[in-house]
Structure 1
Amino acid sequence: MYSEVLETMDGGREFMGKRKVTILCSGFGLGFYIPGLLAASEFGKRDIKAEVLVFESFLEHDKREHIADSRTAYHSNFALANISARMPMDIRNSIDYAQVELLLETWKAEERYEFISLSGHWIYILDLYREKMLPNPIHVDLLYVDSDLAPSWKSLKKFHPRYDEHYYNACLYDTDKMAIRYEIPVLPGTTLPFESRKRRLVVHGGGWGMGTYQSTIPELASHNYGLDIVAYDWKEAKPDPDHRYWMNDPEWCSWVKSANGLHEFPPYIEIAGEDTNSYTAEADHHWLYDIASEAMAIVAKPGAGTLIDSLASETPLILLEPFGSHELSNLELWESLGFGIRYEKWREMDFSVDILKEMHQAIKNRPGERTNYVDHYCSRVALTKS
């Protein structure tokens, strides 16, 4: 395991330019993208520059083009998505190595030494850079935003068993103790008290609109809850006076930089009645967080981003069928902590509001110091100019 504390990265040589942390995300799911942007924002608050990059930008063009096909297939067939999650994939066959070499030369010229990776796919590229920079060490945090290894990490482990030998494993959750180690905050300030929240539920299928969320809508609507439903595409949006439909702007793509050359939070669309309203991206958080913060619960599969939203907004989860073993682990963690309840069990309780309030209070009164992951990072990795 790589040393947890780096006083200076090269034994005392003065650094050129300002410290910058490179945050390496993936567009496969927003749970491996949004947390990276949130972390970048936290570094900015500490006057530390951060750049977010997305792995899919460095795939061969034809491989990148097939992602949209996979997304559509997994949205339509959740069983197929779960089968795919169990199939190891050697991503090295899809990387555009000419583009990667240009990236590594840029990093070297800028003397990049600090990296945080939210996806196992990046490790092959980081290994190339580590070799290029020898004998000077680089520091890499492997940031696990799920409570068990997501598919990119499991594939990496199969083809590269000692992948973490030179890097630091940073886990948000401790499944042995069923506890939260570190948190990624979304917005500062106190959350809305439960009594002030609307009798509404947020219903979604994660960044790719996967899972059983659509099948819950008629039953939830019949129990006097207003619904905020995240649609995957236009044809899903069937608003009525009690429900609102939202969606990420379908023209937006996580691995395509915005006009200002940055990866940003997605712009979004609200569909209410006959009205359609388009909104620009929020500057510092994902738009869905604001809606979740006013709701009594989030009805969704337990993806990494959904856990972060639940914790930060103190909004309990109604847990739907998970995607892969990593989300099953997330489900069991949230259930154990009292922060969530399985949909079927909540149905047995006749969709009780009281249990939602109890779970909200459990999140609000959670034990521990609520350590910000970025604070934890900064306490371990201390770059100083000589």
Structure 2
Amino acid sequence: MANRIVTMLCSGFGLGFYIPGLLAANAFNRLGIPTEVLVFESFMVQDKMDHIVDSKNAYHHNFALANLSARMPIDIRQSIDEAKVNQLLERWEAEDRREFISLSGHWVYILDLYRQMMHPKRIHLDLLYVDSDLAPSWKSLKKFHPAYNAPYYDARLYDTAKMEIRYEIPVSSNVPSSFNERKRRLVVHGGGWGMGTYQSKIPELAEAGYGLDIVAYDLKEGKPDHTHRYWMNDPAWCAWVKGVNGLHEFPPYCEITQEATIRHDMKPDNHWLFDIASEAMAIVAKPGAGTLIDSLAAGIPLILLEPFGSHEQSNYELWETLGYGISYERWKESGFAAEVLESMHERIISRPVTGKNYVDHYCSRIALANG
């Protein structure tokens, strides 16, 4: 297995289907296993790709529209650029690619074609569900291809029947800071696409005496002062456009200060927001897949805002049941008490983690299969 390439199949529709793929790729690389990260949108026809940015802007400004879209199944096959996909499949065949991990249901149509090309050789595809229920790409796939997972392996990070965490995506080898070491600050954001009700909470949170690290959707939203900092992904960056080194990377980012906008290079090991969250007392956000991963890795509780789609509703219920998160309304009733946050922090850092590393699980299972 050490000489084989694990192909990480991501999506740019929200960073929750992109950042975890890069994190997993880094973990494989640390084990000496090479990887390649690909993003589905790179293999769409151009007009469909151009429309994604319009959707992103619309969903940022209209969360009800975003939630409506999450319930509408889409047959993504109409958007696939067949010429690009054929070139990709020919390259995979020439390189004898066998090991794949997909974070998006959209890739399964392409993997089905590749599996037919490789017959009777066997490929190994993990369908990696980073939410606790099916996200829209998986639901659409299931509608148009009900038995999509029959030839593949369902890799679920969370077990909602047992309300437990099965596996985790490794982020950092650092031990999370203790609660007493943390700043009296909160991270406030709307996920990778800046969706949801997070902006409406800023005045109350500021009045409660917390410093805020707010992720802006665009530069115009930045209104920094002596207690509130504004950050954002570099607006020139796009998940499905490779960096100057020809690879997909974590996004570069900006800090919006009162004097200027300061641009920073991307961090090689994780998303820049993780470092900021690691110093804060809580994240105030909808419960997206990437936010759950940050919560576990940084030992930081979630103040749960209105979810996007039924998959995030399931995430909401899981985190609340585990005691790793609390609804914004309930925390508000406590008077925005720091003691509530400390209790959740302690639950997170005391969770069992032995045997939970997803990358280790994949390596041991595929090595046995190859043997």
Q: TM-score, normalised by structure 2?
A: 0.98
Partner of 1:226: 211
Q: 1:46 aligns with which of 24, 27, 31?
A: 31
Does the aligned pair in 1 maintain the 2:219–2:256 contact within 8 Å? no
Aligned counterparts, 1:166-181, within 5 A: 166-181=151-166
Letter of the 2:257 counterpart:
A
List per-residue Cα deviations over 1:332-374 (Å, max 9, x = no partner): 0000000000001100101000000000000011135251100
Cα deviation digits, residues 225-244 of structure 1 (max 9, x gap): 00000000011111111100
Deviation (angstroms), 1:45: 0.8
Answer yes or no: is the 8 Å Cα contact 1:183–1:370 preserved in 2: no
Say whether residues 1:327 and 2:312 are aligned partners.
yes
Aligned partners of 1:52 and 1:383: how far apart in 2? 24
- SS of equivalent residue, structure 1 residue 66: helix
Quickly say closer, same or farther: Cα 1:340–1:60, change in 2 above 3 A. Answer: same
Question: 1:235 maps to what in 2?
Answer: 220
The residue number in structure 1 matching 2:183 is 198
The structure 2 residue matched to 1:364, chosen from 339, 349, 354, is: 349
Provide the secondary structure at the position in 2 that maps to 1:37: helix
376-385 vs 187-196, which deviates more?
A: 376-385
CA shift, 1:383, in A, is 7.4
Q: Provide the C-alpha distance between the structure 1 equivalents of 2:298 and 2:63, rounded to a whole number of angstroms.
A: 28
- What's 1:4 paired with? none
Deviation at 1:272, TM superposition (A): 2.3
Match of 1:106 in 2: 91
User: Secondary structure, in 3 states, of the residue corresponding to 1:259?
Assistant: coil
Calculate the aligned-residue CA RMSD, in Å.
1.3
Cα distance in 2 for partners of 1:367, 1:41 equals 23
Is 1:310 equivalent to 2:295 in the alignment?
yes
Amino acid at match of 2:314: S
Out of 37, 43, 50, the residue aligned to residue 58 of structure 1 is 43
**In structure 2, what is the Cα distance between the partners aligned to 1:94 and 1:371?**
36
Question: Residues 370, 311 of structure 1: CA spacing in aligned structure 2 closer, same or farther, 3 A cutoff?
Answer: farther
Per the alignment, residue 249 of structure 1 pairs with 234
Alignment match, 1:12 = none
What amino acid is aligned across from residue 65 of structure 1 in structure 2? D
359-368 or 54-63: bigger deviation: 359-368
**Aligned 1:49-128 pairs, distance under 5 A:** 49-128=34-113
User: What count of residue pairs does the alignment treat as equivalent?
Assistant: 371
Q: How far apart in 1 are the matches of 2:217 and 2:189? A: 9
Q: Distance in 2 between matches of 1:183 and 1:173?
A: 9
1:295 aligns to what? 280
1:146 aligned residue: 131
Structure 1, gaps ≥5 residues long: 1-7, 9-16
1: CA distance, partners of 2:176 / 2:328: 24
Structure 2 letter corresponding to 1:303: G
What's the CA shift string for 1:93-129, capped at 9, x where partnerless?
A: 0000111000000000000000000000000000000
Higher relative contact order (CA 8 A, sep 6+): 1
CA distance in 2, matches of 1:172, 1:49: 23
Report the 3-state secondary structure (helix = DSSP H, G, I; strand = E; otherwise coil) of the residue aligned with 2:278.
helix
Q: Distance in 1 between matches of 2:46 and 2:27?
A: 33
SS at match of 2:223: coil
Distance in 2 (alpha carbons) for counterparts of 1:178 and 1:384: 29
The answer to whether the 8 A contact 1:339-1:363 is kept is yes
* Contact residue 58 and residue 95 of structure 1 kept, 8 A: yes
User: Do the aligned partners of 2:213 and 2:229 also contact (CA within 8 Å) in 1?
Assistant: yes
Separation (CA, whole Å) in 1 of partners of 2:353 and 2:7: 29
Query: Residue 66 of structure 1 aligns to which amino acid in structure 2?
Result: H
1-structure distance, mates of 2:370, 2:136: 39
Change (3 A) 1:189 1:29: same
- Asked if structure 2 preserves the Cα contact closer than 8 Å seen for 1:241 and 1:273, the reply is no
Instruction: Name the CA distance, whole Å, in 2 between partners of 1:18 and 1:384.
Output: 16
Letter in 2 for 1:302: P
Offset, 1:18: 2.5
> Of 256, 264, 267, which residue of structure 2 is paired with 1:271?
256
Match of 1:157 in 2: 142
